[in-house]
């Protein structure tokens, strides 16, 4: 009876060494690898025509931003959000019938503007996990770059002015804006007169070509009055290699996002501060739809006041829509603080701890196995030393 018990203990020790069996998630179906939406096309590249890849999974932002909860209050109905960038196509079903365009901006050769419009106002569709932050908002497409995505600061500033004059309540742009540029300041002044909230990326989406790891200048100081937004990923952090910035008012999900492309209903992935600005513009649309009495400046203040605290506050759409201001109610009536995004885990420390725990478990099991053999024999001999038999004495010789 002792041998089976000992074998069982040794098997347990081996199990500690090999670790637990893989969970269903570890061996689940393979992830769909989505193509990256271009930022700019060269003169030799054709317009984006790939239809993306089909996926029904909900992107990480849907849970991180508590979109299902905030949609019970507001979905952005009646609010027009201008996307000043590469143009916006209404070919994707998630945008169909809700895109207006100025000056030929209904064509998107690159695909980035369409992707950003989807982040803002992509419709909720049965069986699909993806949806924009404000799925019932309308989109106004305004050209803010060259047709192939070439940066054009003058056109970007002019696009903000055009969007404000066309009645957009929220305006987001595809590239950082320089607050020292007079044309930019004039465009922001026009937006303020039109009561339009301008949301800008606080950093570039990528380093300039040829940077090759060398230090580059951070994005310029954003214009006064605009809401400058920085991108974060699923863990609430930015990569160390992310482009630099001078100032940011808010952070929002902007890395590894999922959205539509300019052709078909497949999905793409995109990253950068301009994506975070688009997400924030969607949140602003939710607030403006639920609180139509608020001015653009009040919406900006509300987004900042209800954000999660941090070095740079983090966007909380539900708090911005449903939160109670300190002047309107006692502090006890304020909303509960939602769960914050966790910091990136220390994988090296976790791995070391796992090895220590497993090693300790193995030592314990082997000690138990040893005692299980020795103790019964010791008791049977009343702890007297044993004598070698004839065969054992011969082996010693």
Q: Which residue has the higher pLDDT, 219 or 330?
A: 219
pLDDT the model gives residue 229 = 99
DSSP three-state, residue 282: helix
Rounded Cα–Cα distance for residues 101 and 88 (Å): 8
Do the Cβ atoms of 87 and 107 come closer than 8 Å?
A: yes
**Exposed, middle or buried by CB within 10 Å (0-12, 13-18, 19+), for 90?**
buried
Q: Which residue has the higher pLDDT, 382 or 298?
A: 298
pLDDT the model gives residue 147 = 96
Question: What integer is the mean pLDDT of 181-191?
Answer: 98
> What pLDDT digit, counting tens, does each position of 229-253 carry?
999 999 999 988 899 999 999 999 9
Percent of the chain with pLDDT over 70: 72
pLDDT the model gives residue 31 = 75
**Picking from 7-11, 59-63, 281-285, which range would have the lowest pLDDT averaged per residue?**
7-11
pLDDT the model gives residue 286 = 99
Phi, psi dihedral angles at 249 (to 5 degrees): -90, -30
> What pLDDT digit, counting tens, does each position of 71-103 carry?
999 999 999 999 999 999 999 999 999 999 999
CATH code for residues 60-208+215-333: 3.40.50.200
pLDDT the model gives residue 100 = 98
Domain spans of the chain, in order of start: 1-19+345-397, 60-208+215-333
> What pLDDT digit, counting tens, does each position of 187-224 carry?
999 999 999 999 999 999 998 765 555 557 899 999 99
């Amino acid at each position: 009876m002792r041998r089976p018990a000992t074998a069982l203990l040794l098997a347990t020790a081996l199990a500690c060494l090999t670790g637990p069996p893989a969970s269903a998630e570890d061996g689940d179906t393979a992830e769909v690898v989505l193509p990256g939406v271009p930022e700019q096309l060269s003169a030799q590249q054709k317009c984006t025509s790939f239809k993306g890849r089909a996926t029904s999974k909900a992107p990480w932002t849907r849970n991180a931003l508590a979109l299902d909860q905030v949609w019970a209050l507001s979905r952005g109905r009646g609010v027009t959000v201008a996307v000043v960038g590469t143009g916006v196509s209404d070919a994707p079903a998630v945008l169909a019938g809700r895109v207006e365009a100025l000056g030929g901006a209904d064509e998107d050769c690159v695909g980035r503007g369409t992707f950003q419009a989807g982040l803002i106002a992509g419709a909720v569709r049965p069986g699909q996990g993806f949806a924009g932050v404000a799925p019932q908002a309308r989109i106004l497409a305004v050209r803010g770059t060259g047709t192939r995505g070439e940066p054009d600061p003058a056109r970007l500033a002019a696009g903000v002015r055009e969007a404000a004059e066309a009645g957009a309540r929220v305006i987001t742009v595809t590239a950082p804006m320089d607050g020292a540029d007079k044309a930019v300041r004039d465009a922001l002044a026009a937006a303020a007169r039109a009561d339009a909230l301008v949301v800008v990326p606080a950093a570039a989406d990528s380093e300039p070509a040829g940077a090759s790891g060398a230090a580059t200048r951070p994005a310029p100081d954003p214009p006064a009055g605009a809401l400058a937004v920085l991108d974060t990923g699923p863990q609430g952090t930015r990569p160390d290699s992310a482009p630099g910035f001078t100032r940011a008012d808010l952070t929002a999900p902007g890395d590894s996002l999922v959205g539509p492309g300019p052709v078909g209903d497949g999905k793409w992935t995109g990253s950068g501060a301009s994506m975070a600005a688009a997400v924030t513009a969607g949140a602003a649309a939710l607030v403006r739809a639920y609180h139509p009495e608020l001015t653009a400046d009040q919406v900006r203040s509300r987004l900042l006041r209800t954000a999660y605290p941090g070095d740079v506050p983090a966007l909380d759409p539900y708090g911005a829509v449903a939160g109670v201001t300190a002047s309107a109610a006692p502090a006890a009536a304020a909303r509960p603080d939602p769960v914050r995004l966790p910091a990136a885990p220390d994988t090296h420390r976790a791995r070391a701890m796992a090895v220590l725990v497993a090693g300790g478990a193995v030592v314990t099991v082997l000690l138990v196995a040893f005692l299980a053999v020795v103790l019964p024999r010791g008791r049977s001999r009343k702890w007297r030393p044993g004598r070698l038999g004839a065969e054992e004495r011969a082996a010693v010789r």
